[in-house]
Structure 1
Amino acid sequence: MHRSIRTAAVAGMAAIGLVFGLSACSEVSEVAKDEAVDQVDKAMNEKYEVTYEVTGKGVDSIQFSAGGGTATNPKLEAVDKPTLPWKKTVTLRGIMAPSVLPVAVDVSGDAQINCKIIYKGKTIADQSAKGLAAAKGCVAISPLAQ
């Protein structure tokens, strides 16, 4: 009889310990979750600047993300017949990806394109193309997402 009482007492204590342990983990998990949400919210609203640079010859147009729209559906702006070298600094926010797309259509096949994305003096994307219908975009991951 004492054995069954002792077994029941041990089982009861184990259950109580488990309940307190799980509730403590739940509270820690909730705190960590709130901190993560705060960090994501801060990153989504934080702004950063990048500079787009396009060089080469025969570039007909340049499309680029200028900060409008959303990260998943950015509003692109365009420049037709740009004077090269072309440079533009824009302010983006959160996880919005910096992107620039120069396009050249040259029947002689001599078109050349080089595009760069620069963040805090460091090149974070660099691409080149040449030929009849050259199109080469530069896209980078938001520096805030890294």
Structure 2
Amino acid sequence: MHRTIRAAVCSVAVAGLAFGLSSCSEAVDQVDKAVDETYEVTYEVTGKNVDSIEFHGGGGKATEPKIESVSKPELPWTKTVKLRGIMPAAVMPVAADPEGAQVACKITYKGKVLEEQSAKGLVTAGGCTAESPVTG
């Protein structure tokens, strides 16, 4: 009697393990697909006397994006970039003006605003960071 119960329990455990591994494999496949998928965003920066703009331009690793920079940009400034997988979209305008700096940034994806910020002050860094739409 105990052997029959033990054999049944072992069979159920093996079946559960096989099912769990196939589910895990499917989850890994979905993560791999998301990491390899690309998406485009458009950065927009407006304001007054912006000294520089730093942004994720698509280089580097998804978890360690390469930061690109533009000095003394002509405003309004826009740039469309292709990012990969879980890489967040990010743009950081920096302005310093004794009379009061002004900056605003916006990140759009397929016409939808993902993030929008603005700031004023003597020294202003008004950054926008948005989660990858691939993850959501």
TM-score, with length taken from structure 2: 0.97
Residue 99 of structure 2 aligns to a residue whose secondary structure is: coil
Name stretches of at least 5 consecutive residues in structure 1 with no aligned partner.
Answer: 1-8
Picking from 3, 8, 17, the partner of 2:8 is 17
Tell me what 2:21 maps to: 30
1:138 maps to amino acid: C
Give the secondary structure class of the aligned counterpart of 1:123.
strand
8 Å contact 2:105–2:128 — kept in the other structure?
yes
CA offsets, 1:1-32, max 9 Å, x none?
Answer: xxxxxxxx1x2221111100010000000101
1:3 alignment partner in structure 2? none
Aligned Cα RMSD in Å?
Answer: 0.8
**Mind listing any 5+ residue stretches in structure 2 that lack a counterpart?**
none
- Equivalent in the alignment of 1:140: 130
Query: C-alpha separation between the residues in 2 aligned to 1:37 and 1:31?
Result: 10
The structure with more helix, counted as a fraction of residues: 1
Identity value in percent: 55
- Is the partner of 1:24 in helix, strand or coil? helix
Indicate the structure with greater strand content: 2
Q: Distance in 2 between matches of 1:77 and 1:89?
A: 13
Where does 1:61-140 land on structure 2 (aligned, <5 Å)? Answer: 61-109=52-100, 111-140=101-130
- Tell me the number of residue pairs that the alignment of Structure 1 and Structure 2 aligns: 136
From 23, 32, 42, the equivalent of 2:33 is: 42
Matched residues in 2 for 1:90 and 1:30: separation?
37
The code of the aligned residue for 1:27 comes to A
Distance 1:121 1:28 in 2: 41
Larger radius of gyration: 1
Q: CA deviation at 1:107?
A: 1.2
